[in-house]
Structure 1
Amino acid sequence: MTKTAAVTGATGFLGTHLCERLLADGWTVRGLSRPTSDRGDLEAPVEWYVGDLFDDATLRSLVDGTDAVFHLAGIGLWSGDAATVERVNADGTSRLIDACRHGETSAGKLVFTSTAGTRRPSTEGDIADETDYAPPVGAYQSSKAEAEVLVDNYASTVGEAVTVHPTSIFGPGDETFTAQLLAMATDPTMFVYLPGGLSIVGVTDVVDGIVAAYERGENGGHYILGGENLTLEQAISRIAHCTGGHRAPLEVPSAAIHAAGPVAETVGAVAGVRMFPFDRDMARLATKRLYYTSRKARDELGYDYEPLEEHVPNAMAWYRSL
């Protein structure tokens, strides 16, 4: 029997890859889309519900009678001010949960995609797991942490839900992190790379983890979906080796990034508008090594990830087409 999935954020980077995977697996896919969103190759195979997270009637139709609700919609500070980020990520999740609660027919298992940023190593050099709660830094992390509480409450009362925490996602279609990493690894005009380190995971591995969370995730459970823990220098060196690229030769000093945080705050205060989604706390976080383990997802979901090199060819082909 064909399963039906509702996907919020279906036109975004991760949402597009998830929809493609579900369609390939034979699911009927309902996607939430704003009228102006580019649906690309998904225009025909996905059943589109036009609206947003604050269109209650559309949300109820979207989730009604589904087997799974994959909630990926959200925005970061490059796309809106702190109040807007809070409204979309936290209040929008609340509205979606209300739709799941009050539809004419019960909604399926809710799989919420949060961020690994709500977990963090307590000491520099440590590796964080799902139990390492951290004070949120910035409105994005704060709003995601609030949304996690809402999902946990839903799971503990009337619904079935699970939360996944991807780390830094690498793959075709990502015009922020992936494009920046590829530029630092291949563009001869790029002279500097950033300090710090990340858990870098391929987008297809994250999609596998999201589907596995639906299939095997414990109600109310949280699962980090990470990849290899690498410094930025290691990552760009390995990409450059794969592609024959010319990696940036110089590391930006951490002190320079730390100094940029207060400057961004001052510019925003003087202009009356936050022109850069950056402050002193974010500046310090950006230079740390934020490493994670996905042991729980491996043990309970069967999750696994491939090395960075396996994801470079598809990402590079996309990057060269821009």
Structure 2
Amino acid sequence: MTESKAESDADGSAAGTKPGTSTDTSTGTATTDTTSKTDTDTDTATPTAAVTGATGFLGTALCNRLLADGWTVRGLCRPTSDRKRTIRDGVDWYVGDLFDRTTLRELVDGTDAVFHLAGVGLWSASPETVERVNREGTGSVLDACRDADTGRLIFTSTAGTRRPDQPGELATETDVVEPIGAYQRSKATAEQFVDRYAAEGGDAVTVHPTSVFGPGDDEFTAQLLSMGLEPTMPAYLPGGLSIVGRDDVVGGLLAAYERGESGEHYILGGENLTYEQAIERIADYADGSPARVQVPAAAIHAAGPVAEVVGTVTEQHVFPFDRKMARLATERLFYSSRKARDELGYESRPLEAHLPAAVDWYRAAHR
């Protein structure tokens, strides 16, 4: 599913005060002056980027790429985050969260680009926390950008807020659908905040990665690799998805900064594959033992109502899962990245290009 681990470090899960009165983060609407910001000095020799979610799965790769390209990088991180695990030296760390108004303003002030990656994933927290961090946290970042002198904001949402209109079709940026679950709802609302910010005169672009694949991801990537490598994983899902390499998404983020049009949305996808196709190719590459049995769609559909009943009886959200999400898990969620290719010069590579690093990581981490 497209709610993959694109932002593993929430930066907003710690308790904090909501941003001040200059923006209502429940709506994303400014209550003071909303004129456009002063343009960042484009003559600066070394560009500066602020990255929220900097220690997450996607954020670490983005920070490393920015540093390699000569940027000055500021990263937002929580006090408990491991800042040395996978990021090269050179990041200027700002310790706080998405609800720390002072730290956020200092983070973004004077930057050429603000990459807002921080968020809470589908399986990481309660629905209430997911909604708060992803929705209100984005409002906090926009608040800071309004109050400071910043350049372009690049917001990382999810392809899950778009879906194909008909079976067999490819979803595009215009295929906006009713969100399913707390994660999609929170991202859809955050997108509206960013769109409003751009309409007010701010410079902002939204990108929609599909299912992001790469080393270090213990959720989607590890699950998919296990179905292609482990004889103990006998079954696979009946649906399909768009698998995009993490490094390709990073390239898309930079392209959105350089060439995207403010207020626009861009899907950053990869190969559209059924689960069966994906695990067969993983097994072929790594001489693995792929899952041979497809889980019946009816069995997955039946799991949705069961999860709903458990949540009702226990008054706890044990599974972030319901009948709508169960049905979604059996569909072929395929996407078109033509707009990103045409307007940004975005490029994505086949699954095999990302397997060497991912398989090496998986085998080392799951010995």
Calculate the TM-score normalised by the size of structure 1: 0.98
Letter in 1 for 2:337: S
Residue pairs, 1:231-270, within 5 angstroms? 231-270=274-313
In the other structure, the counterpart of 1:29 is 73
Q: CA deviation at 1:320?
A: 1.1
| Aligned counterpart in structure 2 of residue 130 of structure 1, from 173, 176, 194 | 173
In the other structure, the counterpart of 2:183 is 140
Is 1:121–1:291's contact at 8 Å kept on the other side of the alignment? Answer: yes
2-side partners of 1:78 and 1:119: how far apart? 20
| Aligned counterpart in structure 2 of residue 279 of structure 1, from 322, 327, 346 | 322
In the other structure, the counterpart of 2:92 is 47
Is 2:241–2:275's contact at 8 Å kept on the other side of the alignment? Answer: yes
Deviation beyond 2 Å, 4+ runs, structure 1: 41-44
Is 1:170–1:201's contact at 8 Å kept on the other side of the alignment? Answer: yes
In the other structure, the counterpart of 1:93 is 138
Is 1:101–1:158's contact at 8 Å kept on the other side of the alignment? Answer: no
2-side partners of 1:176 and 1:250: how far apart? 21
Residue pairs, 1:157-196, within 5 angstroms? 157-196=200-239
Letter in 1 for 2:172: D
Letter in 1 for 2:258: E
In the other structure, the counterpart of 1:206 is 249
In the other structure, the counterpart of 1:11 is 55
Q: CA deviation at 1:215?
A: 0.3
Deviation sequence 1:23-79 (CA, Å, 0-9, x none): 110111100000001121437321110000000000000000000000000012312
| Aligned counterpart in structure 1 of residue 126 of structure 2, from 72, 77, 81 | 81
2-side partners of 1:198 and 1:313: how far apart? 21
Is 2:64–2:88's contact at 8 Å kept on the other side of the alignment? Answer: no
Is 2:49–2:73's contact at 8 Å kept on the other side of the alignment? Answer: yes
Q: Provide the aligned length of Structure 1 versus Structure 2.
A: 320
2-side partners of 1:24 and 1:76: how far apart? 28
Letter in 1 for 2:178: P
Q: CA deviation at 1:183?
A: 0.2
Letter in 2 for 1:49: Y
Closer/same/farther in 2, CA of residues 176 and 51 from structure 1, 3 Å limit: same
Calculate the TM-score normalised by the size of structure 2: 0.86
| Aligned counterpart in structure 2 of residue 114 of structure 1, from 132, 157, 177 | 157
In the other structure, the counterpart of 2:102 is 57
Letter in 2 for 1:250: V
1-side partners of 2:331 and 2:122: how far apart? 20
Q: CA deviation at 1:159?
A: 1.1
2-side partners of 1:290 and 1:102: how far apart? 39
2-side partners of 1:156 and 1:264: how far apart? 40
Letter in 1 for 2:207: V
| Aligned counterpart in structure 2 of residue 20 of structure 1, from 42, 64, 67 | 64
| Aligned counterpart in structure 1 of residue 260 of structure 2, from 217, 223, 234 | 217
Is 2:228–2:289's contact at 8 Å kept on the other side of the alignment? Answer: yes
1-side partners of 2:356 and 2:211: how far apart? 18
Deviates more, 1:308-317 or 1:37-46: 37-46
2-side partners of 1:81 and 1:302: how far apart? 38
1-side partners of 2:315 and 2:196: how far apart? 37
Identity percentage of aligned residues: 69
| Aligned counterpart in structure 2 of residue 299 of structure 1, from 335, 338, 342 | 342
Q: CA deviation at 1:171?
A: 0.5
2-side partners of 1:313 and 1:153: how far apart? 41
Q: CA deviation at 1:158?
A: 2.9
Letter in 2 for 1:51: G
Q: CA deviation at 1:82?
A: 1.4
In the other structure, the counterpart of 2:31 is none
Gaps of 5+ in 2: 1-44
Deviation sequence 1:207-233 (CA, Å, 0-9, x none): 000000000000111000000110000
Is 1:191–1:248's contact at 8 Å kept on the other side of the alignment? Answer: yes
Return the structure number with greater helix share: 1
Gaps of 5+ in 1: none
